[in-house]
Amino acid sequence: MINLQIISSNASYQISYQMEQLVASLDGHSYPFEWEDLGGGEFHLRTGTGNYHVLLIEHQPCGQVLFQVNGHLYLITVRDEQQQLLNQMEFGKSGATGITLMHAPMPGKVLQVLVDEGARIREGDPLIILEAMKMENELRASGDGRIETVHCRPGASVEKHQTLVTIRKK
């Protein structure tokens, strides 16, 4: 059994699954599923009466996963059991200074910067609107803190992994 924590911009879920039995548990509810690997990061997922076309776009070492489901783009963070434990113990933070960098998850164009330097933010607050692949993506704060530096401006083109915002954690 594999246990994961899935964190999106507006919610957090605990998921357990057993590939051998093709059953997933989401927040305590069990769902049978079928999974077909189409190759190249493309999958077909069936759950009950739902059919989903899933395209894995990018998986970063920090656990962020960018994928598309039936044409909708999602950016989530996936934490396995070890990462969840380390997070609870507050390892893996960006050094003793409590500085966190928000990077562009993909190349794109900054449409809006929604925060100013010095602004207090809370986990889930929208910070940047990034246009990528003809879609507007709202990039949100991963935790509470204060905006230290904004490294981009509206209209700017950014590369994947480019630093957009520096946040000082509380």
Q: Write out the two tokens for 121.
A: 């933010």
Q: Could you read off the pLDDT of 126-138 as tens digits, one per residue? A: 999 999 888 888 8
- Do residues 3 and 16 make contact, with C-beta atoms less than 8 angstroms apart? yes
Q: Are residues 52 and 15 in the same domain?
A: yes
> Which structural domain, as residue segments, surrounds residue 158?
95-169
Supply the mean pLDDT for the chain. 80
Q: CA nearest 108: which of 66, 88, 69, 136? A: 136
The CATH number for 157's domain is 2.40.50.100
- Do residues 110 and 118 make contact, with C-beta atoms less than 8 angstroms apart? no
pLDDT for residue 147: 94
- Do residues 151 and 132 make contact, with C-beta atoms less than 8 angstroms apart? no
- Does 89 map to a domain? no
In this predicted structure, the answer to whether residue 141 has a pLDDT above a threshold of 80 is yes
CA distance 101 to 146: 12
pLDDT for residue 5: 67
Q: Are residues 108 and 78 in the same domain?
A: no
H-helix or E-strand spanning residue 87: helix 81-88
- Do residues 126 and 98 make contact, with C-beta atoms less than 8 angstroms apart? no
- Does 122 map to a domain? yes
Q: Are residues 79 and 43 in the same domain?
A: yes
pLDDT for residue 96: 44
Q: How confident is the model at residue 113 (pLDDT cuts 50, 70, 90)?
A: very high
Q: Are residues 99 and 79 in the same domain?
A: no
- Do residues 108 and 129 make contact, with C-beta atoms less than 8 angstroms apart? no
- Domain boundary among the residues 25, 56, 83 is at 83
In this predicted structure, the answer to whether residue 88 has a pLDDT above a threshold of 60 is no
Q: Are residues 57 and 106 in the same domain?
A: no
Domains in the chain, number: 2
Q: Are residues 31 and 61 in the same domain?
A: yes
Q: Are residues 17 and 78 in the same domain?
A: yes
- Cα 72 from chain centroid (whole Å): 14
Q: Are residues 43 and 102 in the same domain?
A: no
pLDDT for residue 95: 46
Q: Are residues 32 and 105 in the same domain?
A: no
- Domain boundary among the residues 83, 116, 143 is at 83
Q: Could you read off the pLDDT of 26-82 as tens digits, one per residue? A: 767 788 888 898 998 899 988 887 899 988 888 776 677 788 888 888 777 777 666
pLDDT for residue 90: 45
pLDDT for residue 94: 46
Q: How confident is the model at residue 92 (pLDDT cuts 50, 70, 90)?
A: very low
Q: Are residues 10 and 76 in the same domain?
A: yes
Q: How confident is the model at residue 87 (pLDDT cuts 50, 70, 90)?
A: low
- Does 90 map to a domain? no
The CATH number for 19's domain is 3.30.700.30
